[in-house]
Amino acid sequence: MFLVMALLPSPAPGNDLGAETVPSTTSAPTTIIVAPDATATTIAPTSSVATAPGHEARYVVPVGEVEPEAKQLAADIANALTTYEESDDPTARFSSIAGAAGVELLAEAGEPLTHRGRWSRGRVVYPQLGGLTNERVSVMVVTRQTVGLGSEPEFTVVRTLDIRLIRGEAGWEFDALASAGGAFDSIEDLALAGAVAANPRIEMPDSARLDILGGEISPILLELMSDLADITPYGITVMATGHPYHVFETGRVSHHTLGRAIDINRVGERHVIDDRGPNSATRALVQWLWEQSEVIQVGAPWDVDGTGRSFANTVHQDHIHVAVIGPNDPTWVPAIGDRVWEDLDADGVQDAGEPGIGGVTVRLFDDSDTELGSTVTNAEGKYEFRDLSYGEYHVEVDLPPGFMVSPRDQGADASDSDIDSAGVMAQTTLDPREHDPRWDAGLYRRASIGDRVWEDLDGDGVQDAGEPGFGGVTVRLFDGAGTAVASTVTDGAGAYTFANLTPGTYHVAIDLPAGFVASPRDQDSSDAADSDIDSGGAMAQTALESNENDPRWDAGLTRPASIGGLVWDDVDADGVQDPGEVGIAGITVRLFNGAGTEVGSTVTDVDGEYDFAGLTPGAYHVEVDIPDGLVASPQDDGADDAVDSDVDVDGIMASTTLDPGEDDPGWDAGLHPGDP
Which tens digit of pLDDT belongs to each residue from 606-626? 999 999 999 988 899 999 999
Same fold, 3-179 and 447-558: no
> What DSSP line would sit under 205-222, residue for residue?
-HHHHHHHHTT-S-HHHH
Domain 335-436 in this protein, CATH class:
mainly beta
What is the CATH number assigned to the segment(s) 447-558?
A: 2.60.40.10
**pLDDT under 50: residue ranges of the chain:** 1-49, 183-193
pTM comes to 0.59
Amino acid 676: pLDDT: 56
Element holding 429 (H helix, E strand): strand 428-430
Strand boundaries in 480-579, DSSP class E = 484-489, 495-501, 504-510, 517-518, 542-544, 549-550, 555-558, 561-569
Sorted by where each begins, the domain ranges of the chain are 3-179, 188-324, 335-436, 447-558, 561-672
CATH 3.90.45.10 fits 561-672, yes or no: no
In 3D space, the residue among 170, 127, 447 whose CA is nearest the CA of residue 318 turns out to be 127
3-state DSSP assignment of residue 374? strand
C-alpha–C-alpha distance, residues 73 and 62, integer Å: 13
Amino acid 570: pLDDT: 95
Which tens digit of pLDDT belongs to each residue from 557-610? 999 999 999 999 999 999 999 999 999 999 999 999 999 999 999 999 999 999
C-alpha–C-alpha distance, residues 54 and 489, integer Å: 113
What is the CATH number assigned to the segment(s) 3-179?
A: 3.10.450
Is the Cβ–Cβ distance between 587 and 565 less than 8 Å? no
C-alpha–C-alpha distance, residues 373 and 485, integer Å: 43
For residue 574, count other CB atoms closer than 10 A to its CB.
17
What is the CATH number assigned to the segment(s) 188-324?
A: 3.30.1380
Amino acid 485: pLDDT: 97
